[in-house]
């Protein structure tokens, strides 16, 4: 009986919408009626007006800076990148903002106010070093770091998505570091070709900086494992997080290359292992640390990347100790902090 009623209700709804035979949300006794972008405001008017104005300004700014064409602005999943940014430490957010605005401290920018700085990549020597070069640099060391990030992404995709061709397409695209369009990496499957077409409208830089197409959420919906706790939205947020972290690792590695010196008595392989461990620990969620230890993730990451190997080793030891303390507390133990000591 319920099935019949539901079916009739759906038919009635479709018929009323088709014939425009339904009430609107405009009521005759309303003293004031506010519309924003053609939609009636039903909540906080100031917030909705501000968001609408901000979106319009951003659309033109991104278009004028050749970041996203105004025609495709709404195809980017803005809510996702905004939500993910809140999960990162403040200095990470500063990096993303600089990178997105194309004012990250590359030698293109530094040479503008310091004539002694040569406008070339410190790793591969390419003349002119824009922000987009960070994820494209062909230097062997930076390519090795990028391959490490791609391998992490590939492993994560294998754990969260059942669509093997989809995983293959994303991995191959990332491996080419922006030298190929996603349509060139897409298998001959309609749903992936559609995604690749939508993706290429936004392009490589938007992708690795976390501004993915909304089409990803629709594509992955049928690819999540049946018993997965992930929804398309939560999956996409984790996906964006992985992309942002990969780009940030390249920036840190680039800075480490600038200041790299073999004065620490370590081999190149040892330096690389230390740096990879730093990169892994930088991905730690603040909530995984006890409040007194969270300052470790709120420091100057650029200084950490460009400092000595000894400084990085000390930071690694402090982070691993903090993680051990947090795990001890989660399992029922107690940790004495400086404030708990006698005489404090």
Structural domain that includes position 319: 273-337
Say how far apart CA 162 and CA 222 lie, in whole Å.
9
In a domain, 60, yes or no: no
C-alpha 88 chain-centroid distance = 10
**Strand positions, DSSP E, 227-324:** none
Looking at 249, 284, 310, which one is the last position of a domain?
A: 249
List beta partners, residue 39.
36
Looking at 200, 233, 249, which one is the last position of a domain?
A: 249
- Which helix H or strand E contains 258, and what residues bound it? helix 232-259
- The predicted structure's pLDDT at residue 305: 64
200 and 281 co-located in one domain: no
107 and 224 co-located in one domain: yes
Say how far apart CA 169 and CA 186 lie, in whole Å.
5
119 and 241 co-located in one domain: yes
Structure token pair of residue 96: 């993303």
In a domain, 54, yes or no: no
Q: Is 36 helix (H, G, I), strand (E, B) or coil?
A: strand
Looking at 211, 234, 249, which one is the last position of a domain?
A: 249
- The predicted structure's pLDDT at residue 213: 96
pLDDT, averaged in runs of 10, over the chain (344 residues): 54 63 58 70 76 86 92 94 86 88 89 90 92 94 89 94 96 96 96 96 96 96 90 95 92 74 61 76 79 79 68 84 86 61 42
Other Cβ atoms less than 10 A from the Cβ of 231: the count is 13
113 and 183 co-located in one domain: yes
What is the radius of gyration, based on Cα positions, of the chain? 25
143 and 288 co-located in one domain: no
83 and 184 co-located in one domain: yes
Q: For residues 106 and 134, is the Cβ–Cβ distance under 8 A?
A: yes
List beta partners, residue 40.
35
- Give the closest residue to 212 by CA, choosing from 81, 324, 317: 81
In a domain, 111, yes or no: yes
In a domain, 80, yes or no: yes
Domain total of the chain: 2
Say how far apart CA 236 and CA 250 lie, in whole Å.
22
- The predicted structure's pLDDT at residue 329: 85
Long-range contacts of 98-105 (CB under 8 A, 24+ apart): 98/131, 99/131, 99/134, 99/209, 99/247, 99/251, 100/67, 100/209, 101/65, 102/65, 102/67, 102/130, 102/131, 102/132, 103/131, 104/131, 104/134, 104/251, 105/302
233 and 283 co-located in one domain: no
224 and 317 co-located in one domain: no
Rounded to 10°, the helix 232-259/190-208 angle is 40
In a domain, 310, yes or no: yes
101 and 150 co-located in one domain: yes
In a domain, 83, yes or no: yes
DSSP per residue over 179-241, as a string?
SS-HHHH--S-HHHHHHHHHHHHHHHHHHHTT--BTHHHHHHGGGS-TT----HHHHHHHHHH
In a domain, 4, yes or no: no
196 and 278 co-located in one domain: no
Tell me how long the chain is: 344
- The predicted structure's pLDDT at residue 5: 47
Q: For residues 214 and 77, is the Cβ–Cβ distance under 8 A?
A: yes
What is the torsion angle, in degrees rounded to the nearest 10, for the CA atoms of residue 177, residue 126, residue 258 and residue 175?
10
Report DSSP state, residue 40: E
In a domain, 287, yes or no: yes
- The predicted structure's pLDDT at residue 189: 95
189 and 303 co-located in one domain: no
88 and 226 co-located in one domain: yes
At 213, give phi and psi (nearest 5°). Answer: -75, 145
pTM of the entire predicted model:
0.71
């Amino acid at each position: 009986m319920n099935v019949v009623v539901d079916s009739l209700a759906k038919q009635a709804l479709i018929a009323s919408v088709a014939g425009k035979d339904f009430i609107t949300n405009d009521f005759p006794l309303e003293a004031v009626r506010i519309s924003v972008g053609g939609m009636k405001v039903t909540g906080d008017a100031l917030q909705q007006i501000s968001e609408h104005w901000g979106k319009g300004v951003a659309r033109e700014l991104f278009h004028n800076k050749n970041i996203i064409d105004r025609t495709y602005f709404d195809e980017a999943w803005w809510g996702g990148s905004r939500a993910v940014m809140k999960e990162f430490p403040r200095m990470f957010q500063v990096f993303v903002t600089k990178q997105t605005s194309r004012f990250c401290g590359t030698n293109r920018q530094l040479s503008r106010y310091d004539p002694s700085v040569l406008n070339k990549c410190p790793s591969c020597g390419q003349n002119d070093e824009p922000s987009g070069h960070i994820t494209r640099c062909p230097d062997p060391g930076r390519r090795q770091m990028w391959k490490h990030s791609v391998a992490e992404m590939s492993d994560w995709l294998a754990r969260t998505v059942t669509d093997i061709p989809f995983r293959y397409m994303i991995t191959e695209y990332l491996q080419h570091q922006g030298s190929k369009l996603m349509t060139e990496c897409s298998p001959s499957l309609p749903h992936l070709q559609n995604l690749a077409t939508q993706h290429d409208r936004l392009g490589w830089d938007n992708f690795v900086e976390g501004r993915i197409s909304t089409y990803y959420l629709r594509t992955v919906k049928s690819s999540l494992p049946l018993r997965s706790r992930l929804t398309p939205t939560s999956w996409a947020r984790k996906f964006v997080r992985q992309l942002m972290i990969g780009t940030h690792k390249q920036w840190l590695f680039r800075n480490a290359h600038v200041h790299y010196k073999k004065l620490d008595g370590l081999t190149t392989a040892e330096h690389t292992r230390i740096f990879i461990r730093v990169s892994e620990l930088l991905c730690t969620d603040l909530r995984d640390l006890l409040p007194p230890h969270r300052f470790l993730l709120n420091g100057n990451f650029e200084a950490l990347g460009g400092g000595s190997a000894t400084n990085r080793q000390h930071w690694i030891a402090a982070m691993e100790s903090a993680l051990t303390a947090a795990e001890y507390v989660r399992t029922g133990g107690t940790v004495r902090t400086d404030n708990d000591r006698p005489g404090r």
